[in-house]
Structure 1
Amino acid sequence: MTSVYNTLLERGYIKQLTHETEIKEALEKEKITFYIGFDPTADSLHVGHFIALMFMSHMQKAGHRPIALIGGGTAMIGDPSGKTDMRKMLTKEDIEHNVSSIKKQMAKFIDFSEDKAILVNNADWLLNLNYVEFLREVGVHFSVNRMLTAECFKQRLEKGLSFLEFNYMLMQGYDFLELNRRYGCIAQLGGDDQWSNMLAGVDLIRRKEQKPAYAMTCTLLTNSEGKKMGKTEKGALWLDPERTTPYEFYQYWRNVNDADVEKCLSLITFVPMEEVKRLSALEGAEINEAKKVLAFEVTKLVHGEAEALRAKEAAEALFGAGNDMSNVPTVVITKEDLNKTLLDILVETKIIPSKGEGKRLIQQNGLALNDVKVTELSRSLKEEDFKDGIALIKRGKKSYHKIELQ
Structure 2
Amino acid sequence: MNALIDELQWRGLIAHSTDLDALGAHLDEGPVSAYVGFDPTAPSIHMGNLVQLMLMRALQRAGHQPFLLVGGSTGLIGDPKQAGERVMNDASVVEGWVERIRAQVGGLIDLDGQRGARLVNNLDWTGRISALDFLRDVGKHFSVNRMLDREVVKSRLDSGISYTEFSYVLLQSLDFRELYRTHGVTMQTGGSDQWGNITAGIDLIRRSEGGKAHGIGTPLLTKADGTKFGKTESGTVWLDPEMTSPYAFHQYFLNAEDAMVVSYLKVFSERPRDEIDEIARQQEEKPFLRVAQRALADDITDLVHGRPERESAEAAAAALFGRSELAELDDRTLAAVAKELGAATVPAGESLPSVVDALVTAGVVPSKSAGRRAIDEGGAYVNNVKVTDPDAVLSPDDLLGGRYAIVRRGKKTVGALEFQR
Q: What is the aligned partner in structure 2 of residue 337 from structure 1?
A: 348
Seen in structure 2, the aligned counterparts of structure 1 residues 13 and 306 have a Cα distance that, compared at 3 Å, is: same
For residues 416 and 14 of structure 2, what CA distance do their matches in structure 1 show? 39
The answer as to whether partners of 1:392 and 1:403 remain within 8 angstroms in 2 is no
Displacement of 1:400: 6.0
The answer to whether residue 303 in structure 2 is matched with residue 293 in structure 1 is no
Q: Report if aligned partners of 1:15, 1:216 keep a CA contact under 8 Å in 2.
A: yes
Gaps of 5+ in 2: 339-343, 354-358, 369-390
> Is residue 2:390 matched to residue 1:389?
no
When structure 1 is superposed on structure 2, of 23-32 and 321-330 the one drifting more is 321-330
Contact 2:73–2:126 (CA under 8 A) maintained in structure 1: yes
Per-residue deviation at 1:48? 1.2
C-alpha distance 274-403 of structure 1, shift in aligned 2 (>3 A) = farther
2:2–2:24 Cα contact (<8 Å) kept: no
Describe the shift of the 1:244–1:373 C-alpha distance in structure 2 as closer, same or farther (beyond 3 A).
farther
Verify the 8 A CA contact 2:247 2:316 in the aligned structure 1: yes
Instruction: Quote the Cα distance in structure 2 between the aligned partners of 1:27 and 1:102.
Output: 28
Q: CA deviation at 1:367?
A: 8.7
Match of 1:31 in 2: 31
- Of the structure 1 ranges 114-123 and 302-311, higher mean CA displacement relative to structure 2 is found in 114-123
SS at match of 1:68: strand
In the alignment, which residue of structure 2 is the partner of 1:313? 315
The two structures have a TM-score, normalised by structure 1, of: 0.84
Q: Identify unmatched segments of 5+ residues in structure 1.
A: 343-365, 376-381
* CA-CA distance at 1:294 after TM superposition: 1.1
Give the structure 2 partner of residue 45 of structure 1: 45
Q: What is the identity, as a one-letter code, of the residue corresponding to 1:231?
A: K
Mapped partners of 1:264, 1:317: distance in 2 = 27
Deviation at residue 91 of structure 1 after TM alignment: 1.3
SS at match of 2:36: strand
- Any conservation in 2 of the 1:370–1:393 contact (CA below 8 Å)? no
Q: Which amino acid aligns with 2:201?
A: G
In 2: Cα distance, 1:279 partner to 1:7 partner? 18
Number of corresponding residues: 373
Distance 1:205 1:323, change over 3 A: same
- Kept after mapping to 2: 8 A contact 1:3/1:27: no
- Using the TM superposition, give the Cα deviation of residue 78 of structure 1 relative to its aligned residue in structure 2, in angstroms: 1.2
1:76 alignment partner in structure 2: 76
Per the alignment, in what secondary structure is the counterpart of residue 69 of structure 1? Answer: strand
Report the secondary structure of 2:157's partner residue: coil
Instruction: Describe the superposition over 1:18-58 as per-residue Cα deviations: whole angstroms up to 9, x where unpaired.
Output: 12211011122311001000001111111111111111111
Per-residue deviation, 1:184: 0.3
Question: Which is worse superposed, 96-105 or 113-122?
Answer: 113-122
Change (3 A) 1:184 1:285: closer
Structural mapping, 1:236-385, within 5 Å = 236-281=236-281, 282-283=283-284, 285-319=287-321, 322-325=323-326, 326-327=328-329, 329-331=333-335, 337-339=348-350, 369=362, 371-373=364-366, 384-385=393-394
Deviates more, 1:43-52 or 1:323-332: 323-332
Post-superposition Cα deviations, 1:116-170, rounded to whole Å, max 9, x if no partner, equal 1110100111122111121111111111111111112121112111111011001
1:65 match: 65
Query: Compared with structure 1, are the counterparts of its residues 327 and 374 closer, same or farther at alpha carbon in structure 2 (3 Å cutoff)?
Result: farther
- Structure-1 residue corresponding to 2:107: 108
Deviations 1:227-278 (A, max 9, x none): 2111123311111111111000000001111111011101111122222233
Q: Which amino acid aligns with 1:268?
A: F
Distance 1:405 1:173, change over 3 A: closer
Q: 1:265 touches 1:276 (CA, 8 Å); kept in 2?
A: yes
Give the drift of 1:335. Answer: 8.7
- Cα distance, 1:398–1:268 mapped onto 2, change above 3 Å: farther
> Contact conserved, 1:33 with 1:64, CA < 8 A, in 2?
yes
Higher Cα Rg, which structure: 2
What one-letter code is carried by the residue in structure 1 that aligns with 2:214? Answer: Y
* Contact 1:311-1:327 within 8 A present in 2 as well: no
| Aligned position for 2:95 | 96
> Residue 253 of structure 1 aligns to a residue in which SS?
helix
Relative to structure 1, the CA distance from residue 120 to residue 259 in structure 2 (aligned partners, 3 Å threshold; closer, same or farther) is: same
Q: Calculate percent identity across the aligned residue pairs.
A: 38
Specify whether residues 335 and 84 from structure 1 end up closer, same or farther in structure 2 by C-alpha distance, changes over 3 A only: closer
Mapped pair 1:132 → 2:114 = no
Query: One-letter code of the match for 1:324?
Result: E
Which stretch has the larger CA shift, 150-159 or 44-53?
150-159
Quote the RMSD (CA, aligned, Å). 2.9
Cα distance change, pair 214–401 in 1 and its aligned pair in 2 (3 A): farther
Partners of 1:28 and 1:132 lie apart in 2 by 40
Please report how far the alpha carbon of residue 286 of structure 1 lies from its aligned counterpart in structure 2 after TM superposition: 3.0
Give the structure 2 partner of residue 346 of structure 1: none
Q: 1:285 to 1:209 in 2, by over 3 A?
A: closer
Correspondence for 1:357? none
Deviations 1:100-131 (A, max 9, x none): 11111112211112451110100111122111
2:388 paired residue number: none
1:22 aligns to what?
A: 22
Q: 2:255, 2:265 → 1: CA distance?
A: 13
Q: Report the alpha carbon displacement of residue 186 of structure 1 after superposing the two structures with TM.
A: 0.3
**How far apart are the structure 2 equivalents of 1:235 and 1:334?**
21
Quick one: which amino acid aligns to residue 11 of structure 2?
A: R
Q: Could you report, residue by residue, the CA deviation over 1:84-108 in whole angstroms, capped at 9, with x for unpaired residues?
A: 2111101110111001111111122
Report the AA paired with residue 330 of structure 1.
L
Q: Does 1:193 align with 2:187?
A: no
Displacement of 1:374 after TM fit?
7.2
> Would you say the 8 A contact 1:251–1:295 is kept in 2?
yes
Aligned partner of 1:9 in structure 2 is 9
Query: TM-score, normalization: structure 2?
Result: 0.81
- The residue number in structure 2 matching 1:354 is none
